[in-house]
Copies of this chain bind each other. A is one copy, B any other.
Amino acid sequence: MKRIGIADTTFARVDMAAAARRALGATGSGYRLYRRTVPGIKDLPSACQQLFREERVELTLALGMPGRAEYDRTCAHEASLGLQQVALAEGRPILECFVFESEASTDRELEQLARRRAEEHAENAWNLLFRPRALARRAGGGLRQGFADAGPVRPG
């Protein structure tokens, strides 16, 4: 039984954790979920650290939704650096799944984008833990999460 962590925020406007949970369930089994909800993305590194230390998860999904302001980009950058620091200090991967509000122009688009990206990162999480060769087979494949894949270059 592998242990997977999910860290999310009350700042986000979509329940990305629910989408990730469903996608994990549809992808495979053999895991148990642990969760921490914090106010904002800058609190995610601490939440991931707790999931690794207190719940002994092997991988964490960090779900967040930075706002539209310039300052939100700085916050996302700081959060990313913190997530990386935790992943390296704990020697465990964190899959960061951020959706910027500015990536969508309507609430409907935002909801779909956040849901799909969370689903596809959840699938990546499952593959990293249970089927790493599935990723190697798609190396250089131009995969994207939340949007259509770019695909490999067509040099022809």
Contact = CB atoms under 8 A, between A and B. Distances in A.
Contacts of A16: 140
A26 interface: no
A42 B77 CA distance: 12
Interface size, A (range): 35 or more
A135 B49 contact: no
Contacts of A100: 71
Q: Which one of A14, A35, A46 has the highest number of Cβ atoms from chain B below 10 Å of its Cβ?
A: A46
A53 interface: yes
Interface in A142-156: 142-145, 150-155
Given A10-B138, A78-B77, A107 B143 contact: no
Given A45-B88, A49-B91, A87-B46, A152 B13 contact: yes
Given A53-B91, A82-B88, 5 more contacts: A36-B136, A46-B88, A67-B150, A82-B84, A107-B155
